[in-house]
Amino acid sequence: MKAEYDIVIIGSGLGGLICGAILSDAGFSVCMLEKNRQLGGSLQTFARDKVLFDSGVHYIGGLAKGQNLYQVFKYLGLMDAMKLQRMDEEVFDRIVFLEDGKEYSMAQGYERFIATLSADFPEEEENIRNYCDKIREVCSKFPLYNLRIGDGYAEKATVLEIDAKSFIESVTSNVRLQEILAGNNILYAGVANKTPLYVHALVTNSYIESSWKCIDGGSQITKHLASRIRKNGGVIRNYSTVARIVEGEGKVSHVELADGEKVYAKQFISNLHPQQTLEMTSSTILRNMYRKRIASLENSVSSFTIHAVLKPGTMPYFGHNFYLHEKDGVWDAISCDEEMWPHSCGVFFAASSRTSAHAESICLLAYMRFDEFSEWQHTFNTEAAPAGRGEAYEAFKNEKAEKLIAFAERKFPGLRNNIQSYYTSTPLSYRDYIGSADGSMYGISKDYRDPVSTFIATRTKIPNLYLTGQNLMLHGILGVTISALTTCGEFIDLAPLVEKIKNA
């Protein structure tokens, strides 16, 4: 193996993969180090009873021709390689209130979105249009989101200190419409009086523009990006856990793996959580004040997920998602106490190349706090390092699963009988596979009251150590893609790259 690489990338989540692809395209020798067997971070898939499940990516926005993610993926060679299915244009997300049985549709395309909601709330059409105008205005302030070079923080400063919930309430006094507009807020783990409008806007806009499912799982993104890196001469190593980032003479000289091996490079990019990255180095260049600031930032909540294999032919395949809520109070689900859990859940059907009429599987996802699993926090269990967590853990998971299935069954009668088998993911699963200390779904939680503190710069104080991934600007496929472009801009001129992406 090479004695020294140009760039070592720690972690093979989407941010690391895109950095690896773009920078190896530019001629840098790249080595990617991944602790798990499977690459991809939240793009990882797994099979149970010969049915494929996504671990984290249930649908993707912005992939219609000319849209932002389409252009980046086209440049990366993904659009010609991926198997995609456009979700129902009349409804990509169905917001359901179980107590009164009312259901509402979010449609693709702004005019269709406005018309669909206005059919349920005819007196609110102007307010719905004003809401959409503001969403687009907020999105316009983020240059790379719109595939252009801007002037950094200044351009977006005017929209950073707006609270999402308060904004929605200012648009309409109709409480049910307020609830619907935030009805899929599990997409960004929305917290009342904290989550900024820009997070709501950037996520919502992407799906309104267009919504898609990956046929046979999101790991195809990983496969094609990894292939591109290798084709460019890059090295990708799994089962390679980075234990230490070693600094000497003012810069990182190498990383040390768990088995003691040292890997040298000129530059280093960490795709890990910033706090986890800092814990790997004892460098005094990173001052205690900076370390304390990063350590003090609150992470978004974790989740509990059921991945269920369905008996063949028992449930139709839906080309849209469902967000089930007990009743009004969609912002309250995130702080729901254990006795009342679940208050809300997302329901996702995976697109399969084997069948389109019937669903092969169903995924139920609900918020869950990490501390509910504190009894087992000393355990660690992955495919690379398998270890059971004990009978009490399995019993606790089953208890939660039965509650969640019963909740979903109020919308889908007979669901329990349609399930052939099910498997669960807990906050500990996300912690062990993805790496955030508390199993956080989306990394650092953004706060409109102090936006600067939750914007993490790609540069660290160590001159050759950089960050990428969901903690920088925004989570999700699109957010991480844009963060990766920002990181790449530290190594290559961003303006020509953005032009190539726009013209791909």
pLDDT tens per residue, range 308-350:
999 999 999 999 999 999 999 999 999 888 888 999 999 999 9
User: Measured on CA atoms in the order 341, 346, 351, 357, is the torsion positive or negative?
Assistant: positive
Quick one: residue 3, left, alpha or beta (phi over 0 = left, psi -120 to 50 = alpha)? alpha
Residue 266 near residue 464 (C-beta atoms within 8 A): yes
Residues in contact with 328: Cβ distance below 8 Å, sequence separation at least 6, in sequence order: 97, 175, 176, 179
The pLDDT of residue 426:
93
The pLDDT of residue 151:
78
The pLDDT of residue 381:
85
Q: Per-residue confidence at 93, pLDDT binned at 50, 70, 90?
A: very high
Whether 362 has a pLDDT exceeding 80, the answer reads yes
The pLDDT of residue 302:
94
Mean per-residue pLDDT for 395-402? Answer: 95
Give Dmax (Cα) for the chain: 69
Q: Where are the beta strands (DSSP E) in 208-292?
A: 211-214, 235-237, 242-248, 251-257, 262-270
Strands 45-48 and 51-54: antiparallel
For residues 405 and 428, what is the distance between their CA atoms, to the nearest angstrom? Answer: 20
Whether 129 has a pLDDT exceeding 70, the answer reads yes
In sequence order, which ranges of 42-141 are alpha helices (DSSP H)?
Answer: 68-75, 110-120, 125-140
Give the helix/strand (H/E) hosting 456. none
For residues 107 and 301, what is the distance between their CA atoms, to the nearest angstrom? Answer: 27
Whether 73 has a pLDDT exceeding 80, the answer reads yes
Q: Which domains does the chain have, with CATH numbers?
A: 4-46+217-296+444-502 (3.50.50.60), 83-90+106-215 (1.10.405), 301-441 (no CATH)
Among 2-6, 78-82, 312-316, 371-375, the range scoring the smallest mean pLDDT is 2-6
The pLDDT of residue 215:
96
Quick one: residue 189, left, alpha or beta (phi over 0 = left, psi -120 to 50 = alpha)? left
Q: Per-residue confidence at 356, pLDDT binned at 50, 70, 90?
A: confident
Residue 186 near residue 333 (C-beta atoms within 8 A): yes
Residue 451: alpha-carbon gap to chain centroid: 20
Whether 296 has a pLDDT exceeding 90, the answer reads yes
Whether 112 has a pLDDT exceeding 80, the answer reads yes
Residue 369 near residue 302 (C-beta atoms within 8 A): yes
The pLDDT of residue 404:
98
For residues 436 and 302, what is the distance between their CA atoms, to the nearest angstrom? Answer: 10
Residue 139 near residue 205 (C-beta atoms within 8 A): yes
Residue 321 near residue 94 (C-beta atoms within 8 A): yes
Q: Tell me the three state secondary structure of residue 147.
A: coil
Mean per-residue pLDDT for 160-179? Answer: 98
The pLDDT of residue 436:
80
Written as six digits, the tokens of 262 are 């040292």
Q: Per-residue confidence at 55, pLDDT binned at 50, 70, 90?
A: confident
Residues in contact with 320: Cβ distance below 8 Å, sequence separation at least 6, in sequence order: 87, 88, 91, 92, 93, 94, 105
Whether 32 has a pLDDT exceeding 70, the answer reads yes
The pLDDT of residue 372:
92
Written as six digits, the tokens of 14 are 């989407």
Mean per-residue pLDDT for 196-222? Answer: 97
Candidates 144, 140, 135; CA nearest to 164 is 135
The pLDDT of residue 39:
95
Tens digits of per-residue pLDDT, 416-458? Answer: 999 999 999 999 998 988 878 789 999 999 999 999 888 899 9
Q: What percent of the chain has pLDDT over 90?
A: 89
Among 175-179, 190-194, 319-323, 353-357, the range scoring the smallest mean pLDDT is 353-357
The pLDDT of residue 338:
84
Question: What angle do helix axes 197-209 and 125-140 make, rounded to 10 degrees?
Answer: 100
**103-132 core/surface letters (b: 16 or more CB in 10 A; e: else):** bbbbbbebebbbebbbeebeebeebbbebb
The pLDDT of residue 53:
92
Whether 1 has a pLDDT exceeding 70, the answer reads no
Number of residues written out for the chain: 504
DSSP 46: E
The pLDDT of residue 31:
98
Whether 387 has a pLDDT exceeding 90, the answer reads no
Residue 298: alpha-carbon gap to chain centroid: 17
Residues in contact with 107: Cβ distance below 8 Å, sequence separation at least 6, in sequence order: 89, 90, 91, 92, 113, 115, 116, 208
Distances (CA, A) of 43 to 11, 211, 220, 222: 12, 17, 9, 7
Residue 322: alpha-carbon gap to chain centroid: 18
Q: Tell me the three state secondary structure of residue 450.
A: coil
Whether 494 has a pLDDT exceeding 70, the answer reads yes
The pLDDT of residue 497:
97
Tens digits of per-residue pLDDT, 136-168? Answer: 999 999 999 999 998 778 899 999 999 999 999
Mean per-residue pLDDT for 212-229? Answer: 97
Whether 172 has a pLDDT exceeding 80, the answer reads yes
The pLDDT of residue 252:
97
Average pLDDT, the chain: 95
Distances (CA, A) of 238 to 33, 36, 140: 6, 6, 39
Strands 321-325 and 344-348: antiparallel
